[in-house]
């Protein structure tokens, strides 16, 4: 580092330290000490509990018989994907806005300033790997009772190296918009391939030299845990080599990042901090979405506008979904998993409630234009509808899309033999009203606008117990409404499974009556709403 | 003028706790007339416009637009409001914004022609297929103005419409608003840019600390003692 850089960074460090009061330093030490102490106590208690648990034997056999290799490989691949996706909008090197404005734009060598921050990023990667490694060691040692030192060396060494590798690769993504674009576009495909391979049983019970860094990090761990992995020394060498190469590449390319890129990330970080401090996950999600929008490229899709006035909002919502087809994909995955769960175990009530929540989350992905309306209600002033009517019109397209998804899933289940032919017509007929119930539940939650200071002030006046319940209710309004509307009819139908035809028919009538009543209440309630403040 | 006012506000008052943002304002704007609200920051200009647009509930007083209260759909449909900061949907292009607003107001057959003409007037034709995130602030402001003008209206509410606009766009907007006035539209304008308001406004209202301290013919008010005392000239 040049003298000028060292002097400037040293000056900054000294000034910042001077502004930290002894109380702040003491608080920081107390915080770290408390976290360390509780982590150690939890690890020891968990270790003892697992070691004395009665389940040893079956689980150990499964782990050493290939389960550990499968789980570790997939988990590490997912962790690497998550790190790389994180690096498309934040990453291991993020400065604050004042640092970008005053430090990075000064005539100091930028590479040196970046390297100082990159070093911290690599250390953070190593620390995250060490934490994961320690947790894995505690769990495996308690379950398998193998020699401790080799297992500790494998979990710590492998995962620390993997953490450093992930941070270095993260920097390579962060410093190159082209690479970031590839990561953004390819990661869903990699994820889908990994899930398909897992479900199809293609993930090997052991790891091989060609299994990638995630497999190389898992190999020594599997061997130390008593599993079969004769190639682990080669994998350890490969992991070390690729980590060193990635760190060297990251160090060499420290000057490659543009000031514009660092400024963009600094702005996102500042907004993110404010959103999280305010407990506003919607704001944080919008910031992330905005940060990667430029990278993914804009889909220049056109949809010819209709001629009828009442079709204006369904057309607008259709455009929104065309520009974000991933929302439809998520809705399909979430709804299908919910329906599959109910079809596989029709009598289990808790599972049915979980399925409703999953399907609700799918519906909520489709009402983004409605939520955008609630984010800035003044924008809707150019539209001639009352707020309640506007919200109802915004639900037309999501309802149609969700109904289509429901019909497709029903057809797929029928083909797989999970829906009896006798129930097929009823299942298909239920798709539309269920879609209406789910989308209107999402609309009720979505039209509230963002969580703001008002809600926190209200919560603070309600006391220690009622306040958190109030905030929890605020967050969980949508799922709660969906469960309240749909669980009744589902339970009525569940009770009638296997009953004589007359009783089944009565149950269907009762369930339909319950659903229609609930839908009427939902519709009237939405229509009576005013725009959020 | 003998015609009925498009906008009529009587005893309009807005308070936030003990803070009085607007106090007992009476205001009328007739068809073909432009009234400029002038005053310092925090004098109550934006509050007045938001009350008239129905975005704020008055603490006291009543607003009538096109002969009806703001709770009536026909009154809401008669007014077009341009806020001081661009509010656009992040996932719709400029052209689609105009199409949505026009379509929602029942413009069917002539919509494409109107959209194309407005994009051309605001020099947005080449940016018509851009999303708001890809535009500068000035261009977003132009897109928002075009949205307000693509639909039929009787009353146009403009809050600092030229902030962020380049001089040619300011001139283009000036010409469009003069033409709208000639077609019988009523305009209520809040601005610090007296040069922009000069050839457009027929009357002016000077607001100070939420009170209308002077109102009358534009030239007389701007050249009058209150505007001079407040340093608004």
What residue segments make up the domains of chain B, in order of their start? 7-91+154-229
Contact: A320, B92; criterion CB under 8 Å: yes
| Residue among A247, A416, A320, A117 nearest B91 (CA) | A320
Looking at the complex, report in whole angstroms how far the Cα of residue B187 sits from the nearest Cα belonging to chain A: 16
The partner residue sitting opposite A379, judged by closest CB among B89, B96, B111, is: B89
- How, if at all, do strands B186-190 and B155-159 pair? parallel
Structure confidence by residue, pLDDT tens digits, A34-50: 988 998 888 888 777 77
Residue A209 pLDDT:
58
Best residue of B51, B75, B81, B90 to probe chain A, by most A CBs closer than 10 Å: B90
B99 or A53, greater pLDDT:
B99
Buried b (16+ CB within 10 A) or exposed e, A174-195: bbbbebbbebbeebeeeeeebe
Residue with tokens 């809707």: A380
Boundary residue ending a domain (A272, A301, A323): A272
Structure confidence by residue, pLDDT tens digits, B72-127: 888 888 999 998 888 888 888 999 999 999 998 888 778 999 999 999 989 999 99
Contact: A372, B99; criterion CB under 8 Å: no
Boundary residue ending a domain (A220, A251, A272): A272
Q: Which helix (H) or strand (E) holds B63?
A: strand B60-65
- Host domain of residue A201: 62-272
- Considering the domain architecture, whether residues A355 and A494 belong to the same structural domain is answered as yes
Query: Is A249 inside a domain boundary?
Result: yes
Residue A199 pLDDT:
61
Query: Is A39 inside a domain boundary?
Result: no
In this structure, are residues A312 and B97 in contact, taking their beta carbons and an 8 Å threshold? no
Residue A103 pLDDT:
82
Contact: B106, A294; criterion CB under 8 Å: no
User: Which phi and psi angles does B162 have, rounded to 5°?
Assistant: -100, 0
Burial class (CB in 10 A: 0-12, 13-18, 19+), A18: exposed
Q: Which tokens in the block code for residue A23?
A: 């109380």
Q: Which tokens in the block code for residue A84?
A: 């790389």
Contact: B108, A307; criterion CB under 8 Å: yes
pLDDT at A506 > cutoff 70 = yes
The top-level CATH class assigned to B7-91+154-229 is alpha beta
In this structure, are residues B116 and B125 in contact, taking their beta carbons and an 8 Å threshold? yes
| Cβ neighbours around B233 below 10 Å, total | 10
Structure confidence by residue, pLDDT tens digits, B127-165: 999 988 889 989 999 999 999 999 999 999 999 999 888
Boundary residue ending a domain (A220, A244, A272): A272
Q: Is B23 helix (H, G, I), strand (E, B) or coil?
A: strand
- Considering the domain architecture, whether residues A252 and A317 belong to the same structural domain is answered as no
Query: Is A122 inside a domain boundary?
Result: yes
Best residue of A320, A365, A384, A387 to probe chain B, by most B CBs closer than 10 Å: A384
**Strand ranges across the sheet with B79-82:** B79-82, B155-159, B186-190, B34-39, B203-208, B211-217
In this structure, are residues A339 and A490 in contact, taking their beta carbons and an 8 Å threshold? no
Residue with tokens 């509050």: B47
Residue A388 pLDDT:
93
Q: Which residues pair with B15 in a beta bridge?
A: B20
| Cβ neighbours around B67 below 10 Å, total | 14
Best residue of A305, A319, A322, A527 to probe chain B, by most B CBs closer than 10 Å: A305
- Indicate the range of A101-115, A154-168, A212-226, B185-199 predicted with least confidence: A101-115
- Considering the domain architecture, whether residues A240 and A323 belong to the same structural domain is answered as no
Query: Is A16 inside a domain boundary?
Result: no
- Considering the domain architecture, whether residues A268 and A414 belong to the same structural domain is answered as no
- Considering the domain architecture, whether residues A437 and A484 belong to the same structural domain is answered as yes
C-alpha dihedral over A146, A150, A151, A154, to 10 degrees? Answer: -160
Q: Is B53 helix (H, G, I), strand (E, B) or coil?
A: coil
Query: Is A452 inside a domain boundary?
Result: yes
B129 or A455, greater pLDDT:
B129
Q: State mean pLDDT over A380-400.
A: 92
Contact: A294, B53; criterion CB under 8 Å: no
| pLDDT band (50, 70, 90) for residue B1 | very low
Residue A438 pLDDT:
97
- Considering the domain architecture, whether residues A346 and A242 belong to the same structural domain is answered as no
- Considering the domain architecture, whether residues A71 and A191 belong to the same structural domain is answered as yes
The DSSP output letter for A378 is G
Query: Is A43 inside a domain boundary?
Result: no
Name residues whose C-beta falls within 8 Å of residue A514's C-beta, 6 or more positions apart in sequence: A488, A489, A492
**For chain A, what is the domain count?**
2
Looking at the complex, report in whole angstroms how far the Cα of residue B222 sits from the nearest Cα belonging to chain A: 31
What is the spatial distance between Cα A249 and Cα A246, in angstroms, rounded to a whole number? 5
Q: What is the pTM of this model?
A: 0.78
Task: Report the percentage of chain A scoring pLDDT > 70.
Answer: 95
| Cβ neighbours around A199 below 10 Å, total | 9
Number of A/B CB contacts below 8 angstroms equals 78
- Considering the domain architecture, whether residues A234 and A365 belong to the same structural domain is answered as no
Contact: A381, B96; criterion CB under 8 Å: no
Greatest Cα-to-Cα distance within chain B, rounded to the nearest angstrom: 52
């Amino acid at each position: 580092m040049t003298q000028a850089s060292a002097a400037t960074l040293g000056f900054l460090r000294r000034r910042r330290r001077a502004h930290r009061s002894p109380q702040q330093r003491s608080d920081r030490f107390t915080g770290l000490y408390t976290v360390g102490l509780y982590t150690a106590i939890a690890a020891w208690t968990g270790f003892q509990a697992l070691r004395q648990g009665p389940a040893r034997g079956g689980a150990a056999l499964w782990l050493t018989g290939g389960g550990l290799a499968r789980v570790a490989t997939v988990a590490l691949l997912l962790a690497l994907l998550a790190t790389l996706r994180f690096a498309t909008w934040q990453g291991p090197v993020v400065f604050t806005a004042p640092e970008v404005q005053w430090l990075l734009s000064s005539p100091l060598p930028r590479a040196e300033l970046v390297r100082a921050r990159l070093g911290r990023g690599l250390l953070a990667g190593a620390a995250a790997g060490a934490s994961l490694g320690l947790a894995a060691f505690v769990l495996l040692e308690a379950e398998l009772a193998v020699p401790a030192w080799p297992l500790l060396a494998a979990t710590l060494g492998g995962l620390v190296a993997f953490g450093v590798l992930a941070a270095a690769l993260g920097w390579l993504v962060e410093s190159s918009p082209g690479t970031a674009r590839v990561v953004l576009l390819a990661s869903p495909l990699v994820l889908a391939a990994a899930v398909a391979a897992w479900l199809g049983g293609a993930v090997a019970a052991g790891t091989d030299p060609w299994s990638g860094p995630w497999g190389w990090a898992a190999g020594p761990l599997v061997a130390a845990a008593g599993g079969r992995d004769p190639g682990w020394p080669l994998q350890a060498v490969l992991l070390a080599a690729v980590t060193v190469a990635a760190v060297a590449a990251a160090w060499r390319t420290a000057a490659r990042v543009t000031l514009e890129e660092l400024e963009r990330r600094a702005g996102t970080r500042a907004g993110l901090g404010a959103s999280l401090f305010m407990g506003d996950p919607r704001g944080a999600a919008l910031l992330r979405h905005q940060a990667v929008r430029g990278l993914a490229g804009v889909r220049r899709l056109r949809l010819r506008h209709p001629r009828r006035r009442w079709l204006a909002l369904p057309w607008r919502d259709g455009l929104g979904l065309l520009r974000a087809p991933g929302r439809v994909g998520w809705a399909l995955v979430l709804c299908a998993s919910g329906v599959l769960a109910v079809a596989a175990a029709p009598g289990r009530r808790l599972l049915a409630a979980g399925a409703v929540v999953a399907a609700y989350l799918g519906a909520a992905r489709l009402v983004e234009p409605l939520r955008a309306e609630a984010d800035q209600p003044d924008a809707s002033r150019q539209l001639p509808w009352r707020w309640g009517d506007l919200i109802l019109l915004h639900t037309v397209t999501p309802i149609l899309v969700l109904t289509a998804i429901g019909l497709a899933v029903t057809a797929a289940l029928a083909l797989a033999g999970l829906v009896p032919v006798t129930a097929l017509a009823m299942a298909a007929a239920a798709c539309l009203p269920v879609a209406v119930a789910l989308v209107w539940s999402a609309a009720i939650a979505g039209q509230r606008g963002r969580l703001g200071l008002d809600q926190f002030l209200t919560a603070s006046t309600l006391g220690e117990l009622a306040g958190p319940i109030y905030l929890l209710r605020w967050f969980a309004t949508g799922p709660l409404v969906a469960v309240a509307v749909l669980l009744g009819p589902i339970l009525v139908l569940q009770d009638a499974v296997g009953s004589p035809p007359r009783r089944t028919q009565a149950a269907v009538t009762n369930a339909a009556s319950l659903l229609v009543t609930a839908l009427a209440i939902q519709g009237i309630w939405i229509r009576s709403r005013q725009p959020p403040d | 003028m003998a015609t009925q006012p498009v906008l009529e506000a009587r005893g309009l008052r807005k308070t936030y706790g003990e803070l009085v943002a607007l106090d007992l304002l009476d205001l009328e704007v007739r068809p073909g007339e432009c009234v400029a609200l002038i005053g310092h920051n925090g004098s109550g200009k934006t509050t007045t416009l938001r009350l008239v647009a129905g975005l704020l509930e008055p603490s006291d007083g009543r607003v009538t637009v096109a002969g009806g209260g703001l709770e009536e759909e026909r009154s809401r449909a008669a007014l077009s409001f341009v806020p001081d900061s661009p509010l656009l949907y992040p996932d719709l292009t400029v052209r689609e914004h105009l199409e949505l607003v026009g379509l929602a107001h029942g413009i069917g057959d002539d919509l494409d022609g109107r959209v194309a003409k407005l994009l051309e007037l605001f020099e947005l034709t080449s940016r018509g297929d851009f999303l708001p995130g890809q535009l500068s602030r000035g261009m977003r402001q132009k897109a928002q103005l075009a949205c307000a003008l693509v639909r039929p209206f009787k009353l146009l509410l403009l809050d600092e419409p030229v902030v962020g606009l380049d001089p040619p766009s300011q001139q283009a907007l000036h010409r469009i608003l003069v033409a709208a006035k000639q077609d019988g539209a009523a305009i209520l304008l809040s601005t610090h840019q007296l040069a922009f308001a000069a050839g457009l406004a027929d009357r002016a209202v000077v607001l100070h600390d939420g009170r209308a301290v002077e109102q009358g013919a534009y030239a007389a008010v701007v050249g009058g003692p209150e505007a001079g005392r407040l340093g608004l000239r």
